Amino acid sequence: MALTPKEIKTLTIIITEGPYRSQYIEIAHNIVESALNNQYKVNLFLYMDATHIPKKNQNPHSFPNVVHRMKKLIKKGVDVRACVRCATARGHACDKAAYLSGVKITSVYDIPNWIKKSDKVITLSG
Amino acid sequence: MKSILIVVDKAPYGYEDTFSAFYVSIACINKGMQADVLLLGDGVYAAIKGQKPGGTVNYPNVVELSYLIFPESKIFVHSHSMEERSIKDEDLVEAAQVIDDIELGKILLSKTKDKAFIRM
């Protein structure tokens, strides 16, 4: 049964670790899928090394490509944003098409803005 | 959510995390939201006064960042973590509020409603 806009809850996930070295983004994706299945609105904020995650043209040989799953979740309505300070430091904000389509490069000010409107906040940080 | 507790357990300069924690706190305060910082484990090194990263690592000075969130938000420093590292109360910046395990428990338990926890 579809929920009314007032009944829809919001989950915000903040992740700080990059892909492959840690499993956090896979855990985040699992949580996101579960939340979407429970009709949550989901926000995902990429902070520090997590700003590496949506980089295009990744080609891991031993692990699932994190971008493939993120692409599907963005299509399902997940709002993914990356910290501009962190993305710039890592060389992702200067290239116009560095990131997967749909990922917004914004500021750390989105964290309080999102948290104010969230029912649950989860951080995945090492 | 109405407020945030940001938990830092890594030393400054060795990791980006302490700076990022203070940047989040500053952003929250500017948006009218209280965002206290809890320094645990190696995180307590961030509250030591007289730090001089300029001319050495050339990173931002975390003490200067801590004064950007004080007094709107609090900087809690875990006393047991200080003792483990031979850090005394007088070693800390004025903005620091030393808390023991009982106070830590009270902070965590009393502020869980409408409070987001962010661990860096």
Does any domain span residue A2? no
User: Contact, A46 vs A54, CB < 8 A?
Assistant: yes
pTM comes to 0.91
Closest in A108, A113, A115 to B4, CB measured: A115
Provide, as residue numbers in chain A, all residues whose Cβ is less than 8 Å from the Cβ of B23. 85, 108
Question: 3-class SS at B29?
Answer: helix
B118 touches chain A (CB under 8 A): yes
Statement: residue B22 has pLDDT above 80: yes
- Helices vs strands, H then E, count in chain B: 4, 5
Give per-residue pLDDT as tens, A30-67: 999 999 999 999 999 999 999 999 999 999 999 999 99
Q: Is A3 within a domain?
A: no
Question: Residue A36 is part of a domain; what is its CATH number?
Answer: 3.40.1260.10
- Domain residues for the domain of A48 are 10-124
Spatial separation of the C-alpha atoms in residues B9 and A29, rounded to whole Å: 25
**Global ipTM:** 0.86
Range of the structural domain that residue B43 is part of? 3-119
Residue of B nearest to A14 (CA): B118
Which chain B residues have a beta carbon less than 8 Å from that of A46?
none
Strand order across the beta sheet in which B3-8 lies: B96-99, B75-78, B34-39, B3-8, B115-119
Q: Kindly determine whether residue A121 and residue B16, on different chains, have CB atoms separated by under 8 Å.
A: no
Q: Given a cut of 70, is residue A82 above it in pLDDT?
A: yes
Q: What's the number of domains chain A is made of?
A: 1
**Residue A83 CA to chain centroid, in angstroms?**
11
Q: Using one digit for the tens of pLDDT, what is the confidence trace for B55-100?
A: 777 788 999 999 999 999 999 999 999 999 999 999 999 999 999 9
pLDDT band at B110 (very low <50, low <70, confident <90, very high): low
Q: Indicate which CATH number applies to the domain containing B9.
A: 3.40.1260.10
What pLDDT sits at residue B58?
Answer: 79
What local confidence, expressed as pLDDT, does residue B112 receive? 61
* pLDDT for position B19: 94
Confirm if B28 and A111 have CB atoms less than 8 A apart: yes
| CA-CA-CA-CA torsion sign (B105, B23, A41, A25) | negative
Question: With bands split at pLDDT 50, 70 and 90, how would you rate the model's confidence at B1?
Answer: confident
pLDDT mean across residues, chain A: 94
Our count of domains for chain B comes to: 1
Whether residue B31 and residue A116 make contact (CB cut-off 8 A), yes or no, is yes
Confidence of residue A5 (pLDDT cuts 50, 70, 90): confident
